[in-house]
Amino acid sequence: MKSIVTLFFSIFCFLASAQISTGSAKDYFEQGAFEKALTLYQKLLNKQRSNSYYFLRVIECHQQLGQYKAAQKEIETQIKRSNYPQNLVELGYNYQLQNQLTQADLYYEKALKSIEIQSNYIYAVAQRFEDHSLIDYAIRAYEMGLEKVPNDAFYYQLAGLYATQQNIEKMMERYLDYVETNPPYMSQVMRLLSEYISEDANQPYNQLFKNVLLKKLQTKPNPLWNQWLSWLYVQQNDFKKAFIQEKAVYRRTPESLQGMINLALLAQEANSYDMALSVFEFIIQNAKEPRLQIQANCSRLELQLEQSKPGSYKEIKARYESLIDTYKLGVETVALQLSYAQFLAFYDQNPEVAITFLKTALKANLTDLASSELKMKLADILVTQNKFNQALIYYTQIQMRVKNSTLSQEARFKAAKTSYYKGDFEWAETQLKVLKSSTSQLTANDALELQLLISDHRGSDSLHSALKLYAKAELLSIQKKPSEALAVLDSILKNHKTDPIIDQTLLVQAQLYETQKQFSKAEANYIRIITDYKDDILVDDAYFYLAELYRTKLLQIEKAKLNYETIIFNHEDSIHFVEARKQYRILRGDSIN
């Protein structure tokens, strides 16, 4: 027993000593103390001759110290022990460091010739070339590998190497080869290629990528290349051409309409409404699943609503009712029911009808989640009718029904906001403090923003008069009563001139003015914030929204550039910094990738 304990203790001490030596060697190496590092790494290598890490460290220490003969001797010893072709790269590089380039190339070629026979070392050899920035040789190694033992990873490695060489066409080809063999990585490669693709279809890289794809379509037809062309056209905001490519994909793979759905949503997001409607119409005509048909019909109606005037609402209402009659009330049509209730309450101006409809819908056989979604919409509408206590009951039911879910946290936030609308700021603030640690980042951010608004302004007067008016204006805004909301905000500016909420009031009022196309009034508000509240936290918002107003509505480009420039140079920590820099560079005429 004693001998076993002694043996165990000896092994433990040996391992601890080795660990200390490795750590010390690493520290010396990183500090540039190569002589001390060499001593330790040499001892470690003598104990473990097969350890490639120690071997490479010993070689590098010798080379850092200019001891090329010693490095050569060590490499040659290793080659005799184990004829690994990557060691030939090391020997060649040792000659290169001595400027003996002919000898270096000789060993590099030997390494490449070796992997023709020992193909299992292709990756190791290519990696050694890469580590020494021998890009041409690394490319040759991987390309040889693709001929000898095709490996998906080689495509990816090659794409990166070609990018280093600025051989963009080859880079694009190899990334596409990689996706062809690894479809799940398509999104990842899209992110990488998006650095080279811009909105300008005439930009050289756009043209190059298009040509690469067309060549692949001609030589190796595959719906994947149509998908890529669709992606390229979307980047260029050419949704019509993207639609053509998605149709080509659908003809080859009719079992999936996901590409069409994504295209419709992207076109809608880019305000290309006619194309979005066309794509939704295609989905409706070709979808086999009721779920997709409902989703597309619902999206199409919502899009039509955005573009319609009240005179068209009767027709839209009839379409909603026809769909509900066709697909009935139930779990499958919850999204349609929510959309219809939104239409009734905020477009058709029939909130009571919407409330009655939702209460009827809740009687169907529903899951907890579906029931909670309908209750959320019902509570939201009740809030707009100033029926705060009824709304709070539904928000509480949701929190109990779907505990710990994102929907539950959203309901809790809306309950706090309802208390805020009521003027019960203390209770609202208590709830918001809990929500600041919400797992939903969006809810947490909203909760923090509202909590700061209340805490910063609740104490400005004992009656909280200005804050109550501000909350009332917010409520009027969501009730689709912009004129009344503007009037309430105006009363704050006139009657509470010294209240800390004035800059917030000016900002919100300016944004409301924009929705009412009163652009000169919005401009005046933003300028007032910049002039009178230049040291407050909203000044960067004012600069950004003013720049956007000049760029998109007033078409005063020089003024827009000036305001974007102010954010770039004076407000680097602003959440608007990235977008401001992008828009500034576009206005300046820079090439943006």
Contact assessment for residue 529 and residue 503, using Cβ atoms and an 8 Å cutoff: yes
**pLDDT at residue 107 in the model:** 94
**pLDDT at residue 7 in the model:** 41
Contact assessment for residue 436 and residue 447, using Cβ atoms and an 8 Å cutoff: yes
Q: What phi, psi does 237 have (nearest 5°)?
A: 60, 30
Q: What is the pTM of this model?
A: 0.76
Contact assessment for residue 539 and residue 504, using Cβ atoms and an 8 Å cutoff: no
Percentage of the chain exceeding pLDDT 90: 68
What's the rounded mean pLDDT across residues 328-340?
Answer: 93
Q: Burial code of 461-474, b = ≥16 C-beta within 10 A, e = fewer?
A: eeebebbbbbbbbb
**pLDDT at residue 10 in the model:** 46
Containing H/E element for 84? none
Contact assessment for residue 279 and residue 263, using Cβ atoms and an 8 Å cutoff: yes
- pLDDT bin (cut points 50, 70, 90) of residue 20 is low
Tell me the C-alpha distance between 560 and 537, whole Å.
21
Q: Which residue has the tokens 């609308």?
A: 421
**pLDDT at residue 50 in the model:** 83
Condensed to tens digits (0 to 9), the pLDDT of residues 267-309 reads 998 989 999 999 999 999 999 888 889 999 999 999 999 888 8
Condensed to tens digits (0 to 9), the pLDDT of residues 546-585 reads 999 999 999 999 999 999 999 999 999 999 999 999 999 9
Tell me the C-alpha distance between 232 and 398, whole Å.
43
* Whether the predicted pLDDT of 378 surpasses 50: yes
Written as six digits, the tokens of 17 are 């000593």
Domain coordinates of the chain in residue numbers?
472-593
- pLDDT bin (cut points 50, 70, 90) of residue 474 is very high
**pLDDT at residue 317 in the model:** 94
- pLDDT bin (cut points 50, 70, 90) of residue 417 is very high
- Angle, helices 101-117/86-97, rounded to nearest 10 degrees: 170
The 3-class SS string of 530-549 reads HHHCCCCCCHHHHHHHHHHH
* Whether the predicted pLDDT of 38 surpasses 80: yes
Condensed to tens digits (0 to 9), the pLDDT of residues 250-268 reads 999 888 888 999 999 999 9
* Least confident window among 2-11, 165-174, 413-422: 2-11
Return the higher-pLDDT residue of 188 and 17: 188
Residue 571 corresponds to which amino acid?
A: H
Tell me the C-alpha distance between 172 and 192, whole Å.
10
| CA proximity to 359, closest of 382, 336, 387, 343 | 382
* Whether the predicted pLDDT of 592 surpasses 90: no
* Whether the predicted pLDDT of 445 surpasses 60: yes
| CATH code of the domain made up of 472-593 | 1.25.40.10
Tell me the C-alpha distance between 139 and 126, whole Å.
7
* Whether the predicted pLDDT of 120 surpasses 60: yes
**pLDDT at residue 13 in the model:** 42
